[in-house]
Structure 1
Amino acid sequence: MLLTGPAAAKYLGDRSMSAHDAIPVSLAEIARIAGVGRAAVSNWRRRHDSFPTRIGGTDVSPQFSLAEVEGWLRDNGKLQDIGGRELLWPRFEALGSRNESGLAVAEAARRMRSSRARIVHPELSARARDLVAEAGKVGRAEGPRETFEFLLQRWLETHVRQLSTTPPQLATLMARIALAVRLAPADGNGGSSSGSGSGLALLDPACGTGHLAAAAAQEYDGPGLELLSCERDPALAALAAGRLDFVAEGRDVRARIATADALRDDPFAGTKADIALCNPPFNERDWGYEELATDQRWTHGLPPRTEPELAWVQHVLAHLKPGGAAVVVLPPAVASRRAGRRIRGSLLRTGALRAVVSLPPGSAQPHSVSLQLWVLRTAPDGFAAPPSQDALLVDASRFARPGTREPSPDWGSLGSFVLTALATLDRVGQEPPEGAVRIPLLDLLDDEVDVTPGRYTASTTEPTRKELAAAWGDFGAMLTDLAEHAQRLSALGFEAGAPGTTTTVGDLVKAGALTLRAGQQSPESAGPARGSVVPLLSVADLLHDGTPSGLLPTDSAQAVAKEGDVVVAGVTRAFKAWVHEGPPMALGAQLYTLEVDTAKLDAHFLAGCLRAPSNGRQAGTHASSSSRVDIRRLQVLQLPLEKQTVYAETFRRLRAFETLLATADGTGKGLVRDMSDRLATGGLVG
């Protein structure tokens, strides 16, 4: 529930403005509070002499008093649709200390669940305690879990340079891998670590704010789940506890979060788990090498001082039940560094290291690096030797979205490929998909023991003479079709004189010839959609291969393109328009569907007019490649329906020519590469 209208005014008016009148907020923060864009706030500042004066910052990045801004927004009717969450965050940020603000958010989570919850962190200041109480009220009014996740996300964004978190999509993929790879006991009784009956126990020894445990709880649908988490940072541990309390609410889930250094002071020593998920700290030299030299966990060898990641690998293995599985995020150097080759060799020989997956850059911090997932498993009861004599190496680094400013995986395609490859792990004789390969242990156990997937998955298969001939034949057929299209298109003539009369999409909507619907922001969670779902297309999908990568519950989709509707991408870098064919498809942000009144408009004619590059330039903002296109300003020729049909057929032919040209370009470049490789190896005949 949002606090709106009079309720919001009362919420603001009941507070003492002196309690936070010195809290500074930026223009961006004011925009969030008011639920508008930053440009609107800048406009208010120029147009209204009563807008609060700057109290700090610079001319480029001014800061204003939160109390004065709240008062001005309320007095000018700018807070009708605002909830208390946005008003809370600047006060948490103003606490200053990362630890105090994090602990305060965690305490607020407890207070949101119960107004009588006692403070468990006495070091919080009186100011922080007052804020916790206020946040508890807002959370109980607007939704405890949603309010906590909002505050947690803002806290993580504020301290992003000091923290490393596991993205929700990666956490979900890791949980799915572990649940799929583990070998359940034959009697079906996995048993939790506390011995309370059937169920599953999960360990995360470096849990951060609990992303991995939360993802596992979402993916596991069996009876009884015990989450064993450890984090040495008190603020992160408290936030993880708050998150997992919400996860466990109303379910058969028990969460235990310990504040400790799992390597130096293991709080779960002797405890065994069914699965383990871990995103450990990287490149930490001070991980306890001296004091842990004789630790019993190092069954594969004492990790070198420079290989702390291999200490975490052995730590999770020591906590697995027979047949248990672990998935660990590691930097790529761990797969090949000379110092760790003995431990890697032992992990392979004993069958503990079952698979290595190379991820695309951008999968997690550091975003510029292609991180790896190591899939580990302990031998089930009754096996004296490893169940197989090979390891699965999966190169998924190619599943990145092109055209984006920052590295970003195509999570839908990535997850499907990785899970498909790992499904062949224990199926003797079944070949994994292209990009994954089984490597015999004898080939891996050389002087380097390098388990980098890209070293083994690079394609070395040369096309046969027959395959090359077939490819040249296909290319020739494409050229013939291109020539036919070119001949027909070049024969078209255009009348000289003034251009035809046009109208706009906005006017067509007003006239009832079109129904315009805007798409919605893609959900952040990668968890499985429940009930009836529809494929979800995003702008990133268009820049990749045009295939929807998400799913959305049918009843929550704002814009669904049906067969015959015109779809328009309203962003400059991906501007296009086309007639949708096939089953219904939900649209993401900056995508629009136009339902056509067929008695007034031909859909292919409309799409052809809208698709013109000059049309997009005219309706765009021209600020950058990410600028939006104002769909309502796009121009459409005004023609009677019978003449639209003639134009529509020509637009179709032009689109077919464009598609064929792109296909021929890719085929031709592939032929050049293949022929170059063949020529470089010799054997040319006459």
Structure 2
Amino acid sequence: MAQRTDQVSVTLAAIARLAGVGRAAVSNWRRRYPDFPVPVGGTDASPQFALDAVEAWLKRHDKIAATAGPLERLWPRVEDLGDRDRMGRVVAGLGARLSDSAADQRNRGEPLDPAEQAEQALVDDAVRMAGTEGEAETFRFLLDRWLGTHVRQIATTPPALAALMAEIAAGVRGDHPVPVLTVADPACGTGTLLLSAARQWSGPNSGDPELHLLGNDTDPVLTLVAAARLALEADRARVTVTAHDTLRDAAGPLPDPVDIVLCNPPANERDWGHEELATDQRWVYGQPPRTESELAWVQHIVSMLGRDGEDDVPGGGGVAVVLLPPGVAARRAGRRIRAGLLRAGVVRAVVALPAGAAPPYGVGLHLWVLAAPAPHPQDTVLLVDTADCRHTPPTVSASRLPAVDWDSVRDRVLLALQGGNVPGSVSIPVTDLLGEETDLTPARHAAAARSVRPVDLRRLWTRYDKGLLAARDAGGALRNLSVAQDTAGHGTVSVAELEQAKALTIFSGAAAPEKMVRRGEVPDDGVELLTGLTSLGTTEQPWIDRADAEQADREGTLPLTSFGDVVVVATVHGFDAWVETAAPRLLGHHLHRMRVDPARLDPWFLAACLREKANARRAGTHASSTSRVDVRRLHALRLPLEEQQAFGEVHRKLVDLEKALAEVGRVGGELSEGLAALLAAGRLEGR
């Protein structure tokens, strides 16, 4: 289809946001309502619709969400620009215009001068909306939507990690007094790390030093956004953001030393200037190989810190906290540079983070804590392993990974930096690290994070014995079952047919409005929110206030489960079905609630039929790696209620067996790990 240019177009996802429903609901509307707007562009797989026609249709059918305010209607117009940079200039333009109205004028880099009238019109509309929606709220809304739309192109540092990096830098630097505290980020992106620095050091006390935030990035649009963001949110700081190639343009005379550097530099670069920077004066510890761009960034950052003074005040010459891939600590090509950094006392600490702390979420990244070289460098390096600092949330599917426990990470790292005796940390003499490999990976040196005490060992054996007993009892109830020889009389019926016969009702989950969602431990007056697909950026369990959850269930926007409901996860890789037996839970994307008529269907029997893997394969779309399962195409046996109940009772016992075996597996893993650690430490003895 050819895209029309005289109107704003929106995708199915944008329509779903306007209506406050899931995308599947919008697809259903297209099939059910003949007057649904026709596509005006896009493709068959991703059609686009005229925004005006969509809004008129939603209003006509009373499907505009109560939460779909002016900003929800503005965003499709911004998104219709299509280009990442044009959209970013609108976001930056809004921030620049809003900060211009502030009484305190700051040096925040070049303001936005939009080249196109369409961008200027959107900025004008956003400024008008900010008068009623709130300046900070309007800017953050557009910024979050822009980053979410281009999440694969723009890497950001999660706020929890950014706050930790600033706190580490503050702890290592101490209270060394300066009239102006300069915090720099030579690869600032959208300014998240500099914003965390502003929150760390911009206190309300008049005695606090003036804060100067110095940012740079090679992407001019990102620097515009960062400058606008910092001008709005770092109201106590002086801001300077520039756009140039950090490594190449910094060759020659070095700038004045800075006090703090927080940086998440680009990784695995090949075209970073290896040849033209061969004789650069920053390579004090060795010229970085072409494959070690990260060590080029490390040496550049160290050069920004200058040198510690002769008075040898800790942190007096500057401190840096840098996020790096784990391979930088061990790759053979960087061994000589790592050795040079160690001998100069530049590397103060290396912290191994849990996987999922920052993109790429499947890798456990490292934090390097660096200090300016001093006349009398310290002779030890602190290595901290926090890879085990995780929550263990209730699982929706077997593929769900535990979330990062940021409180545990913070406590362990800061206490170790203060000299505390923390499991998972070790202070190693520099001479012990200078060897054939010069490997700074914390897991290779740090003590086991979990020290097994005699009481722990007794408790593990007690849990293990209880788990074995429960598994034996559950298995005994199933041991006498045998394989039936004749099943010719067992026909099947689809879920769609059961729904049509009113034997059950289906309610599909949807995306919960973000302002309703809380994260962390679920309180007594909260309801857990389940989602079928796991986002590795999510660090805490989502939940919603009970009153809001019950209201959403009454309005039909989100399904709330109750005892006896059958829940189905409708993704091929995470497919599962179970009967709810615990507290009510709210269902998000890719989950479905089936509420049966107990006079016609047994829920345990239905769940047993639906969860069978071959059933899911037959009902799957198989369109991509994230294939979905059409729950209405799932099949169940056609049996009288009495036989259903008999089969359902067997399924109950099978679930009990699965739970008991899972508990034995968990306890057995902990027990094996603890015994192995004691054995390796020579702490096991016979009775």
Q: Sort the TM-score into its range (normalised by shorter chain).
A: 0.5 to 0.7
For the pair 1:308 / 2:293, whether they are aligned, the reply is yes
Partner of 1:634: none
Of residues 237, 247, 257 in structure 2, which corresponds to 1:263?
247
User: Partners of 2:463 and 2:121 in 1: how far apart?
Assistant: 73
Q: Which segment drifts farther, 114-123 or 267-276?
A: 114-123
- In structure 2, the residue corresponding to 1:180 is in which secondary structure? helix
AA aligned to 1:111 is R
Query: Equivalents in 2 of 1:543, 1:97: separation in Å?
Result: 26
Counterpart of 2:188 in structure 1 is 207
Instruction: Please state how far the C-alpha of 1:157 moved relative to its aligned partner.
Output: 4.2
Match of 2:488 in 1: none
- Residues 73/405 of structure 1: CA separation in 2 closer, same or farther (3 Å cut): same
Corresponding residue number in structure 2 for 1:571: 569
Aligned residues: 611
> Hey, what's the Cα distance between the residues in 1 that align with 2:33 and 2:240?
55
The equivalent residue for 2:385 is 394
Tell me what 2:320 maps to. Answer: 326
CA deviation after TM superposition for structure 1 residue 421, in Å: 3.7
- Going from structure 1 to structure 2, the CA distance change for 1:405 and 1:127 (only over 3 Å counts) comes to farther
Match of 1:51 among 29, 37, 40: 37
Higher RCO, Cα 8 Å, sep 6+: 2
State the distance in 1 between where 2:359 and 2:7 align.
35
Measure, in 1, the Cα distance between the counterparts of 2:9 and 2:242: 36
SS of the equivalent of 2:180 reads: coil
1:538 touches 1:548 (CA, 8 Å); kept in 2?
no
Alpha carbons of structure 1 residues 287 and 193: separation in structure 2 relative to 1, 3 Å: farther
After superposition, give the CA deviation of every residue in 1:173-193 in whole Å (9 maximum; x if it has no partner). Answer: 24314413544666x454463
- Separation in 1, partners of 2:195, 2:81: 28
Does 2:174 match 1:193? Answer: no
Q: Does 1:104 align with 2:80?
A: no
Where 1:59 maps in the other structure, the secondary structure is coil
CA drift of 1:238 comes to: 0.6
- Asked whether the 8 Å contact 1:284–1:308 carries over to 2, the reply is yes
Among 76, 89, 96, the alignment partner of 2:60 is: 76
Q: Is 2:334 the counterpart of 1:343?
A: no
How far does residue 538 in structure 1 lie from its aligned partner after superposition? Answer: 5.1
| Residue 179 (str. 1) matches residue 163 (str. 2) | no
- The correspondence for 2:127, drawn from 109, 113, 136, is 136
The aligned counterpart of 1:27 is: 12
Could you report, residue by residue, the CA deviation over 1:413-441 in whole angstroms, capped at 9, with x for unpaired residues? 3x3453344235346572423xx555443
Structure 2 CA distance, aligned partners of 1:98 and 1:26? 16
Q: Which amino acid aligns with 2:91?
A: V
- Mapped to 2, the partners of 1:426 and 1:468 lie a distance apart of 30
Matches of 2:215 and 2:398, distance apart in 1: 31
1:154-213 residue CA offsets vs partner (Å, 9 max, x unmatched): 43344444x331242xx4224314413544666x4544636xxxxxx4321111112222
1:375–1:588 Cα change, 3 Å: farther
Residue of structure 2 aligned with 1:166, choices 156, 164, 168: 156
Alignment match of 1:373 (pick from 366, 389, 393)? 366
Give 2:131's aligned amino acid.
R
1:204 maps to amino acid: D
Q: 1:243 Cα deviation (Å)? A: 1.9
TM-score (norm 1): 0.66
Q: Which amino acid aligns with 1:132?
A: V
Pick closer, same or farther for the CA change 1:537–1:525 going to 2, 3 Å. Answer: closer
How far the C-alpha of 1:571 sits from its partner, in A, is 3.4
Unpaired runs of at least 5, structure 1: 1-18, 195-200, 493-502, 511-516, 594-600, 631-647, 680-686
Change in Cα spacing, 1:540 to 1:268, as seen in structure 2 (3 Å) is: farther
**Contact 1:112 1:135 survives alignment (8 Å):** no
Amino acid of the structure 2 residue aligned with 1:447: E
Displacement of 1:345 in angstroms is: 0.9
What amino acid maps onto 1:311 in structure 2?
A
Whole-angstrom distance in 2 between the partners of 1:626 and 1:89: 28
Distance 1:614 1:407 in 2: 19
CA distance in 1, matches of 2:198, 2:15: 36
Distance in 2, Cα, partners of 1:261 & 1:557 = 49
Instruction: Tell me if structure 2 keeps the 8 A contact 1:522–1:589.
Output: no
Taking the TM superposition and a 5 Å limit, the aligned residue runs for 1:363-442 are 363-366=357-360, 370=363, 372-378=365-371, 384-386=376-378, 388-394=379-385, 396=387, 410-413=402-405, 415-426=406-417, 430-433=421-424, 437-442=426-431
Q: Matches of 2:566 and 2:321 in 1, distance apart?
A: 41
Shift of 1:110: 3.1
1:205 touches 1:231 (CA, 8 Å); kept in 2? yes
In the alignment, the residues of structure 1 paired with residue 475 and residue 400 of structure 2 have an alpha-carbon distance, to the nearest angstrom, of: 38
Shift in Å, 1:239 = 0.9
For residues 28 and 58 of structure 1, what CA distance do their matches in structure 2 show? 14
User: Shift in Å at residue 282 of structure 1?
Assistant: 3.6
Against the structure 1 CA distance between its residues 124 and 31, is the aligned structure 2 distance closer, same or farther, given a 3 Å change threshold? Answer: same
Asked if 2 retains the 8 angstrom alpha-carbon contact of 1:535 and 1:550, the reply is: no
Code of the residue aligned with 1:213 in structure 2: it is: L
TM-score, scaled relative to structure 2: 0.66
> Which AA in structure 1 matches 2:316?
P
Kindly tell me: are residues 180 and 123 of structure 1, through their superposed partners in 2, closer, same or farther at Cα, counting changes over 3 Å?
Answer: closer
Q: Deviations over 1:288-327 (max 9, x none)?
A: 75357343x4443443444322222123333445275422
Rounded to whole Å, the distance in 2 between the matches of 1:440 and 1:33 is 59
Name the stretch that deviates more: 204-213 or 420-429. Answer: 420-429
CA displacement 1:12-56 (0-9 Å, x = unmatched): xxxxxxx9624444333444444443542563466335734545x
Deviation at 1:539, TM superposition (A): 4.8
Post-superposition Cα deviations, 1:63-82, rounded to whole Å, max 9, x if no partner, equal: 34x36535643773557443
Is the CA contact 1:359–1:373 (under 8 Å) kept in the aligned structure 2?
A: yes
Residue identity (%) = 32
Q: Deviations over 1:253-289 (max 9, x none)?
A: 4433222333344599214224523333541433375
Per the alignment, in what secondary structure is the counterpart of residue 247 of structure 2? coil
**Residue 179 of structure 1 aligns to which amino acid in structure 2?**
E
Q: Is the 8 A contact 1:165 1:364 kept in 2?
A: no
Please tell me whether the aligned partners of residues 347 and 353 of structure 1 are also in contact (alpha carbons under 8 angstroms). Answer: yes
Higher alpha-carbon deviation: 118-127 or 609-618 = 609-618
- Cα distance in 1 for partners of 2:288, 2:441 equals 19
- Are residue 443 (structure 1) and residue 422 (structure 2) matched? no
Q: Structure 1 pair 616/83, CA: closer, same or farther in 2 (3 Å)?
A: farther
Distance 1:332 1:233, change over 3 A: same
- Distance in 2 (CA, whole Å) between partners of 1:459 and 1:184 is 24
1:575-634 Cα deviation digits (max 9, x unpaired)? 67799999x9999878999xxxxxxx9xxxx99899867599999x9769876989xxxx
Kindly provide the amino acid, as one letter, of the partner of residue 242 in structure 1: A
Aligned mates of 2:516, 2:329 — CA distance in 1: 31
What is the identity, as a one-letter code, of the residue corresponding to 1:571? V
List alignment gaps of at least 5 residues for structure 2: 306-314, 482-497, 554-561, 633-647, 680-687
Residue 240 (str. 1) matches residue 234 (str. 2): no
- 2:664 corresponds in structure 1 to 664
Aligned residues of 1:204 and 1:228 also touching (Cα < 8 A): yes
- Between 285-294 and 121-130, the greater mean CA deviation after superposition: 285-294
* Residue aligning to 1:356: 350
Aligned to 1:283: 269
Question: In 2, are the aligned partners of 1:358 and 1:371 still within 8 Å (CA)?
Answer: yes
RMSD across aligned positions (CA): 6.3
Change (3 A) 1:549 1:33: closer
**Is the Cα contact below 8 Å between 1:192 and 1:226 reproduced in 2?**
no
CA distance change for structure 1 residues 555 and 430 in 2, over 3 Å: closer, same or farther?
same
